[in-house]
Structure 1
Amino acid sequence: MESDTNILLAFLESMNATRWGLLGIGLVALELITGTTYILWPAVAALILSLWVFFLPLSWELQFIMFFILSAALLVVGHIYLRPLMKSGTPSDLNDPARSMTGRRVVAFTDFVNGQGRVTVGDTQWKASTEFDDPKVGDALVITSVAGATLIVQPIVKA
C-alpha cells in the first residue's frame, strides 16, 4: 500500500507546464467528441495553469487548488454567459415540414383536377392542392403552406 501512495505522490509532484498542457489538449479533444462544453472549462483551466506554471512554478498542492478553482469559475461563467449564446438563434426546420418546405419549388406530377393533384418534392410524391387554375403535368409550382399531409401550391408567375 505504501508503494501505491508513493506512486501517486510522485505523479502529483511531477506535474509541470508540459503535463498541464497535455492534459488541457487531451480534455479539448475529449470535448470535441462530446460537445457538451462541460469538459471545455477544465481543459481551459489546465491550459491556463500550464502557462502559469511555465512562468511561475508552484507547488503541486497549489497547482491542483488553482486547477479546481479555475475549473469551477470557468464552468459557472461559461454556463451563465456562453451557453445562452450557443442556444440562441433560429430553431431548426428538421421536424417542421411546413417551415422547411414553404417557398420550395416543385413540379406537378399529375394533372390537377378540381384543385387536387400530386407534386414531386425531391424524390417523393406529395398530395397537393391549389386554388388557382388546375396545373398540368410538368408545371412549375411553389409551396405556399402545408395542411397536414397536403401541400398547398400555386403556379410560379413568370415575369
Structure 2
Amino acid sequence: MGLSEFFWNLGAWNWFVVAVALFALEAMVPGVHFVWFGAAAVIVGIVGISVDIAWEWQLIAFAIISCITVFLARRYASPDVSLSDEPDLNARALQYVGRVVLVEQAIADGRGKVRVGDTVWNAQGSDAPQGARVRVTGTNGNCLVVEHAVN
C-alpha cells in the first residue's frame, strides 16, 4: 500500500492531518497566518466526518471557510481594534504630552532640545531660551512639539 493510497483511504480525516501541519507551520513561522487556515481545515474535517460529501465540495468549503476566518480575524483580532490599558506604551513621546519641561538647548528657528527627566529630546516650537519652561503639546515622530508654558 502506497502513501497516496493511505491518504486516499483516510477520507475526511485528511483535514485533521492538514490542520496539524498548518498549526505546526504557525508555530515555526512568525506572525499569525496559518492558524486561520488550520481552523478552517478542522471545521471542514468535522463537517466531512458528520456529512458524507465529495472531496471536491470539501475543497470548496475549505476555501470559503478559510476566507471567512481570515476576514473575521482581520476585523476582530486586529491590534487596531483591541483596546489597551496602556495605549501609549510603544509611543513613548506621546506619554509626555501635557507635561511642562525645561529647554536644554535654546529653541531657535523652531528647533532645539528639551529635558524630560534624565533624557534630552528634540523639540520644535516657538523660540525659547535655555532654561525656559515649555509645555509639550504633541509629537512629530520622535520630536516633541512644545509651546511656552503659562506660569
TM range (shorter): 0.5 to 0.7
- How many Å separate the matches in 1 of 2:41 and 2:107? 69
What's 1:123 paired with?
A: 119
Structure 1 residues without counterparts, runs of 5 or longer: none
Structure 2 residues without counterparts, runs of 5 or longer: 83-87
What's 1:9 paired with?
A: 5
Q: Which has the higher strand share?
A: 2
Alignment pair present for 1:26 and 2:16:
no
Distance 1:100 1:126, change over 3 A: same
Amino acid at match of 1:153: E
| Residue-pair matches, total | 140
The sequence identity of aligned pairs, in percent, is 17
- How many Å separate the matches in 1 of 2:36 and 2:69? 8
Offset of residue 126 of structure 1: 1.7
Query: What's the C-alpha RMSD, in Å, of the aligned pairs?
Result: 4.8
- How many Å separate the matches in 1 of 2:135 and 2:149? 6
- How many Å separate the matches in 1 of 2:36 and 2:105? 60
Alignment of 1:43-122 (within 5 A): 43-55=38-50, 58=52, 62=54, 64-78=55-69, 83-84=74-75, 86=78, 100=94, 103=97, 105=99, 107-110=101-104, 118-121=113-116
Larger Cα-atom Rg: 1
TM-score by length of 2: 0.54
Alignment pair present for 1:143 and 2:136:
yes
Residue by residue over 1:28-54, the C-alpha shift from the partner in whole angstroms, topping out at 9 and shown as x without a partner, is: 3434635464x4453223212332355
Please tell me whether the aligned partners of residues 105 and 143 of structure 1 are also in contact (alpha carbons under 8 angstroms).
Answer: yes
TM-score by length of 1: 0.52
